[in-house]
């Protein structure tokens, strides 16, 4: 700050003798900066008062770090300050190996909320679900803590037992005991489903593109008559942008994957797939998505949908369509800023932010999920009060009856209904050609809404 102020004063003195006229814009800018300096002075006064008069001694470093994080998280849910330790943890995560429980979390009104558990991790095996609230760690409340502080409590040495207190809709709070592990997310999981290949990508770490390429090539080598591929991005919380572009390049022969647009409308950066990258040579692809598909997963799904390279089956994705730039401070010695600097757009110009990516064939995974979609607004990016708006002003679809759901008698615990429908789409040749199942019966919320609308006491019911 001192260096910045000295440079500013020098520039003013050098310019004073050559410019007698100060424009209204310059005056407004000067007044704005004056107000900023006044508020910074106020911050210093408050810090000093707390330091002198608080009931017990305080750690000024922690106070300032909390103030920095609070300033940034007030902008949107994904901006924040990373302490040096948190910055190092983030780097470990993107490298694809770290100690912890395997949960992707965020913060909502001071409460830690699960975006999705990662495949093959303690959290996934314990049955933790997207949308769960974590209210305590080892009996200590995490309410009001930043995400970084809460995550720090959940991470630690492998082999240690951690107890999470979970709050979930329609149930009383309950404790879950998990044993920390060195988290090594599987980069890709591959197998055959009859005549069709199946590859699941749990996340977008540094190994994602290479692992996906190797998995598909192995399937092709062992099954030269493979007729198509199901690409599973469900509960994939995203990760690195360059890996999203790389993964898209596995299916696309050049062309745009995604663009990002910043504050200046002219500030557009486009990312293209590599030419000659479609290793499936045009074989049909169906992508599975759900409410836990976020960020990089949505970029890939949106790109393959817009470029007519794949059709999407499942339910609408999370809607995290903003770009965070990690800006190290003093090379990381003072931590880093994680700052939202742009929005993502699909090749056709759709914003992912808040609205998410809608599937070509909407399929609920279970009967309970179909009931939930018809009765309540699902947890998504749009749930955050300070979420960045979608640039074109569109809104996310509200409560409605999904197009398809498992029929009576289907065993949700043994069968994967969305996967079955994806295979049916591949066999039929397209979503348009696949025989449609009867639409689920109207749910409680829809029936109630229809009655209210008929009585003139509520808004018209959405028809779909």
Strand partners, 404: 363
**Catalytic residue from among 306, 351, 383, 443:** 306
Contacts of 416 (CB under 8 A, 6+ apart): 365
State how far the Cα of 143 lies from the Cα of 12, in Å rounded to an integer.
47
State how far the Cα of 148 lies from the Cα of 164, in Å rounded to an integer.
16
What single DSSP character describes residue 413? Answer: T
Q: Encoding tokens for residue 113?
A: 């909320």
CA separation (Å) from 253 to 275, 307, 333, 350?
Answer: 5, 10, 42, 21
CA separation (Å) from 152 to 88, 139, 219?
Answer: 12, 15, 39
Strand partners, 104: 116
Strand partners, 225: none
State how far the Cα of 395 lies from the Cα of 319, in Å rounded to an integer.
11
Contacts of 388 (CB under 8 A, 6+ apart): 76, 322, 340, 343, 353, 354
**Which of 434, 426, 421 shows the shortest CA–CA distance to 283?**
426
Q: Are 9 and 16 in contact (CB under 8 A)?
A: no
> Which stretches of 394-433 are assigned E, i.e. beta strand?
none
State how far the Cα of 286 lies from the Cα of 96, in Å rounded to an integer.
26
State how far the Cα of 317 lies from the Cα of 294, in Å rounded to an integer.
6
State how far the Cα of 26 lies from the Cα of 11, in Å rounded to an integer.
14
**Catalytic residue from among 113, 320, 354, 443:** 320
Active-site residue 306, yes or no?
yes
**Catalytic residue from among 215, 248, 249, 295:** 295
State how far the Cα of 146 lies from the Cα of 66, in Å rounded to an integer.
8
Active-site residue 320, yes or no?
yes
410 C-beta neighbours (distance < 10 Å), count:
13
Q: Are 407 and 437 in contact (CB under 8 A)?
A: yes
Which phi and psi (to 5°) does residue 159 adopt?
100, -20
Contacts of 315 (CB under 8 A, 6+ apart): 289, 290, 291, 359, 362, 363, 364, 365, 369, 373, 402
Q: Which residues are catalytic?
A: 295, 306, 320
């Amino acid at each position: 700050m001192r260096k910045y102020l000295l440079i500013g004063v020098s520039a003013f003195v050098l310019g004073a003798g050559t410019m007698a006229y100060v424009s209204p814009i310059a005056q407004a800018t000067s007044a704005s900066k004056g107000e900023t300096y006044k508020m910074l002075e106020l911050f210093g006064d408050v810090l000093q008062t707390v330091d002198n008069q608080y009931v017990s001694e305080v750690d000024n470093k922690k106070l300032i770090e909390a103030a920095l994080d609070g300033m940034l998280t007030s902008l949107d849910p994904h901006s924040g300050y990373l302490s040096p330790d948190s910055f190092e943890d983030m780097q470990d995560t993107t490298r694809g190996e770290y100690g912890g429980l395997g949960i992707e979390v965020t913060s909502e009104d001071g409460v830690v909320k699960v975006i999705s558990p990662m495949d093959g991790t303690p959290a996934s095996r314990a049955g933790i679900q997207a949308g769960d609230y974590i209210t305590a760690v080892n009996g200590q409340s995490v309410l009001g803590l930043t995400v970084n502080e809460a995550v720090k409590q959940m991470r630690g040495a492998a082999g240690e037992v951690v107890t999470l207190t979970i709050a979930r809709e329609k149930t009383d709070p309950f404790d879950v005991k998990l044993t920390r592990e060195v988290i090594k997310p599987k980069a890709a999981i591959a197998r055959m489903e009859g005549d069709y290949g199946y590859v699941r990508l749990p996340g977008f770490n540094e190994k994602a593109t290479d692992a996906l390429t190797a998995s598909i090539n192995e399937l092709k080598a062992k099954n030269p008559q493979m007729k198509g591929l199901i690409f599973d991005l469900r509960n994939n919380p995203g990760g690195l942008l360059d890996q999203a572009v790389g993964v898209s390049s596995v299916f696309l022969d050049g062309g745009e994957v995604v663009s990002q647009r910043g504050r200046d409308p002219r500030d557009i950066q486009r990312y293209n797939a590599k030419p000659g990258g479609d290793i499936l040579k045009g074989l049909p692809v169906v992508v599975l998505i759900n409410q836990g598909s976020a960020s990089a997963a949505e970029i890939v799904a949106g790109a393959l949908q817009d470029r007519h390279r794949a059709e999407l089956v499942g339910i609408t994705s999370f809607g995290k369509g903003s770009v965070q730039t990690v800006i190290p401070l003093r090379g990381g010695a003072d931590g880093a800023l994680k700052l939202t600097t742009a929005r993502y757009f699909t090749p056709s110009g759709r914003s992912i932010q808040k609205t998410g990516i809608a599937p070509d064939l909407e399929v609920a995974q279970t009967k309970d999920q179909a009931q939930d979609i018809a009765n309540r607004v699902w947890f998504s990016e749009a749930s955050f009060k300070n979420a960045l708006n979608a640039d074109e002003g569109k809104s996310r679809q509200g409560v409605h009856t999904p197009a398809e759901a498992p029929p009576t008698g289907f065993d949700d615990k043994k069968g994967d209904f969305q996967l079955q429908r994806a295979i049916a789409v591949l066999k039929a040749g397209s979503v348009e050609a696949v025989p449609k199942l009867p639409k689920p019966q109207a749910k409680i919320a829809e029936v109630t809404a229809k009655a209210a609308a008929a009585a003139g006491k509520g808004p018209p019911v959405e028809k779909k």
